[in-house]
A = this chain, B = another copy of it.
């Protein structure tokens, strides 16, 4: 009965039309052209590499999509135990109509051809969105993205701010900022104007959030108006570029981050914080397969921020499951802290289950933003959300219906709010 209750809850959750509150979809090329686009996703290339496939076999320039996939399948059998692999098999079954249970060296070309014929259909994007029951997808836009020529009602702009905060020492970033706003970045006042101009443009184009990923060491800090320390740091960046001191870089990271939070509050854009990643820990890794982390991070580093912006919602993702209880408890206490999805290395069932159970039983129900896909191609939204919905259905069945005597309808209503309702409420 437990199993059938769980199944029943899953099916009802699975019928809900979704808004995906964080992705890396390119609105100009939202779907894949061949299997190489799907299996080129870093989850597969990095696992294939980790299992023994040389990086250059994967990233050799000029190889055809089919050749790339052929090479990958020499190794993908070594990752067929992973949940990441199950995403690919499930999407192949449901989106391409693949009939088998396994995709391996013996049959990958069948899947390749099947996928290609589907992907070439003119309405493939519409098919994928319809089958996946996805209504809107939030994007991750560079600050200088022109945001032109796509339907911002379906593909919702979101201002990604990592470059501004952590790479302003890079002359290219400053030039991109100047070019996209028309403002120089000689003074703090200039910089403030530039940031404001970005927010005006994003807001005008329907942006619903700004976002940033943050390293474990980062600790937001406010500076007084006209701070000499911050102006000196900006001077150092302008004069020395990448050779500016670490101190100057950190000061500007802190200053810019805080200004972005001020803009986010003024422009009423929730500020997605994705906390805990160290970039390029393995520089010899494949594209996008180089980042890891130090799990020794605490949300107490953000207490000054949370206190300073009581009216700005912070949907927060943490990279490591050991940080999740802090997230639960900061969301339990701070009105402006919300839980947001299950990010990256914590996006596997073992950690989702433990982290979701921690959240669902202790945080107000209107503050839990259940899941986002983080996908680069639309096809992945479907299997990733399904993984989450299975776990959510299991917890609703076991902990609420069986454990506390809730009716199925009452449990479903909680599930719907976490899966969809709060996304609408928070991002408006």
Contact = CB atoms under 8 A, between A and B. Distances in A.
A365 B333 contact: no
B333 A50 contact: yes
Contact of A325 (B82, B334, B351, B358): B351
- This chain's copy number in the assembly: 3
Interface string A259-294: 000000000000000000010011111000111111
A364 interface: yes
Contact of A46 (B49, B322, B332, B361): B332
A46 B357 CA distance: 20
A79 interface: yes
A322 B321 CA distance: 9
Contact of A298 (B84, B294, B358): B294
Nearest to A399: B349
Chain A interface category by residue count = 35 or more
A303 interface: yes
Nearest to A75: B364
A83 B361 contact: yes
Interface string A358-372: 101111111100000
A176 interface: no
A81 B367 contact: no
A307 interface: yes
B293 A81 contact: no
B283 A78 contact: no
Nearest to A42: B333
Contacts of A81: 360-361, 364-365, 400, 414
**Chain A contact residues: helix, strand, loop or mixed:** helix
B307 A325 contact: no
A329 B345 contact: yes
A121 interface: no
Given A298-B296, A329-B345, A331-B50, A361 B82 contact: yes
Given A303-B282, A399-B349, A332 B362 contact: no
B82 A334 contact: no
Contacts of A225: none
A289 B82 contact: no
Given A282-B303, A296-B298, A404-B86, A350 B345 contact: no
A325 B84 contact: no
B332 A325 contact: no
A366 B331 CA distance: 37
Nearest to A290: B333
A75 B322 CA distance: 30
A306 B80 CA distance: 25
Contacts of A51: 335, 364, 366-367
Contact of A348 (B52, B299, B349, B362): B362
Given A294-B300, A328-B345, 20 more contacts: A50-B334, A51-B335, A78-B364, A79-B364, A82-B363, A84-B362, A282-B307, A285-B333, A289-B333, A292-B300, A293-B300, A295-B298, A295-B325, A325-B346, A325-B351, A329-B345, A348-B361, A349-B403, A350-B357, A350-B358
9 contacts: A47-B364, A50-B335, A78-B364, A81-B365, A81-B414, A289-B333, A292-B326, A320-B325, A348-B362
Interface of A: 46-47, 49-52, 78-84, 86, 101, 278, 281-285, 289-296, 298-300, 303, 306-307, 310, 320-323, 325-326, 328-335, 345-346, 348-351, 354, 357-358, 360-367, 390, 399-400, 403-405, 414
| 8 pairs of A and B residues whose beta carbons are closest in the complex | A51-B364, A350-B357, A294-B298, A294-B300, A81-B365, A350-B358, A329-B345, A78-B364
